[in-house]
Amino acid sequence: MTQDVLTRPPGEPPPPPARSGLLPRVLPPGLYAGRAHTLVERSLLVNRRTWMAVVSGFFEPLFFLLALGQGLGALVGEVTGPDGQPLTYAEFVAPALLAASAMNGAIYDATYNIFFKFRYAKLYDAVLATPLGPVDVALGEISWALIRGGMYSGGFLVVMLGMGLVGSWWAVLALPAALLVAFAFAAVGMAATTWLRSWQDFEFVQLALVPMFLFSTTFYPLTVYPRPVQVAVEVFPLYHAIELMRGLATGVVHWGMLGHAAYFLVLAALGAVVASRRLGRLLLR
């Protein structure tokens, strides 16, 4: 410090502090300041008085589980599990609804809330007037959506444990897997939101989510479809999430599950990159 003060000419401002970490060293200072956590802190402060609205999304899959898994399950009986062994219908449906909890918690926060902040509240215009950049905005908001999806998943996993719907110790990995699923859906949801122009465009979001929720083996096995439809279903992100959760919950773990995890790693990386670039293009023009 003394050497810098002695060698710097009078009146010249001090040099900016060195940035630590990989991203701050690789990305230009205008795009990333390494302070994405401040967006998460803001979301926590804003939502502390509206916690009921935040946690309300947890109840939708819970009601599905009670109505279909327990109610309809008494009529359906047993279904074929991942390894060909019979499962009760509740044991079959519960891991799928756990995956849906991660998806819903992340995607709704990364679409509706971010669209309002971006198009109406003009929050990100104010944020970019600070040292933060568009990459900070993308990572901060995706992280908050990840936290919300993790809250839904953790709560639903506790319900599954309480109802005796977890059949293996491998289920301890279901929460980290749900966080990965939530991160991927949040990143893709935020990237998609940058192309939405009005609230009417959210019909396209529902057009993607509802069929994916209904047909991604959530309520019945993949084998009920003809082969061409099976191929289409296997493309859905939620299908890979359900396969991952169902395998962990039932203890049917195999190397193919690494492929499902890799699918979400690639999806999360692509979504984060696209969201950052789109925000930079729209907010810095």
- d(CA 183, CA 145) in angstroms, rounded, equals 7
183: amino acid identity, one letter: F
H helix or E strand, kind and range, residue 196? none
- What is the pLDDT tens value at each position of the chain, 285 positions in all? 444 444 555 555 444 444 444 444 444 445 666 778 888 888 888 877 766 665 666 676 777 777 776 667 667 777 877 877 788 888 888 899 889 888 888 888 888 888 988 888 888 888 888 888 888 888 888 888 888 888 888 888 888 888 888 878 888 899 999 999 999 999 999 999 989 988 888 999 889 999 999 899 988 888 889 999 999 999 999 999 999 999 999 888 889 899 999 999 999 999 988 988 888 788 766
The Cα-based distances of 34 to 22, 31, 62 in angstroms read 10, 10, 37
Write out the two tokens for 119.
Answer: 């198009």
For the chain, the domains span: 75-283
Residue with tokens 């506790």: 158
Q: Is 224 exposed, middle or buried (0-12, 13-18, 19+ CB in 10 A)?
A: exposed
DSSP 153: H
Cβ pair 127, 203 in contact under 8 A: no
Place of tokens 């967006």: 39
Write the CB contacts of 40 (distance below 8 Å, at least 6 apart in sequence): 140, 143, 144, 147
